[in-house]
Amino acid sequence: MRLLICDMSPLISLGIEAAVATNPNFETQRSTAERILRGEHGTPPAFDVIVTERETAMRLVTQRARHAQRGALSLPRIFVIHQSTGEQDIRGALEAGIQGYASQALTLEEFQDGARMVALGMRYLCPRSAQRLADSMTREPLTSRETIVLRELAHGQCNKAIAQELGMALGTVKAHVKALMSKLDAKTRTQVVTAAITRGLVKLDGSDDILGGGDVRSLEAHRTRRPKLHLAA
């Protein structure tokens, strides 16, 4: 089974290589998204599974979708190993066409099982990711407007400031905050943000994912970017 380790940190790449070094059924090679997109590994690449982190995986599947009509970019199946197991991250990855998703805490046995399943065309979630996704299925999802209000709450904005920032009536903002408290089982605004971080609805790592949905995009034009904290994709 041929694994292409793509754009992973040197330490994690070494860990993956060491983890399968004694298993004759695996062989590994390192590469980058740029080399894959340039076709340096063939079209499709001569590998069974690309092992990468979430951002690179989303970039690869986005490029594949853009070239779908021309058939210009064919990729192996993708197995994501990522620090975050937030429900939105997992769901977004699977919906984008990524076949495997695991946290960096996965064991050697979980990694090997996941790589095999993905190579065979099956879906794979590590136990932690599967539990997080299963839990999310029992919860009422946030609307796009609630999601944007949650972003502002996470930045410490008061209701009046949120209303001004998003061009909403103050009463509308209060209604969204009340709905967030109900859906996130919180009694205070601080508990709302804490619950959102725990569930992976809000991140603190400073990257800049883009939310989908027409309502979200229309509201994005009214806010100033804040790089230190953002919502999960």
CA pair distance 158, 146, nearest whole angstrom: 15
Higher pLDDT, 136 or 112: 112
> How many CB atoms within 10 Å of residue 31?
17
Cβ-proximal residues to 51 (8 Å cutoff; 6+ apart), any chain: 3, 4, 5, 6, 8, 16, 79, 81, 115
- pLDDT attached to residue 197: 84
Whether the predicted pLDDT of 92 surpasses 90:
no
State pLDDT tens for residues 155-186.
999 999 999 999 999 999 999 999 999 998 89
- pLDDT attached to residue 75: 86
Sequence-ordered alpha helix ranges (H) in the chain: 10-20, 33-37, 54-66, 87-96, 108-119, 127-137, 144-154, 159-166, 170-183, 189-198, 214-220
Give the 3-state secondary structure of residue 154: helix
Are 84 and 201 in contact, with CB atoms under 8 Å apart?
Answer: no
State pLDDT tens for residues 37-65.
888 888 767 899 999 999 999 999 998 88
pLDDT band of 218, cuts 50, 70, 90: very low
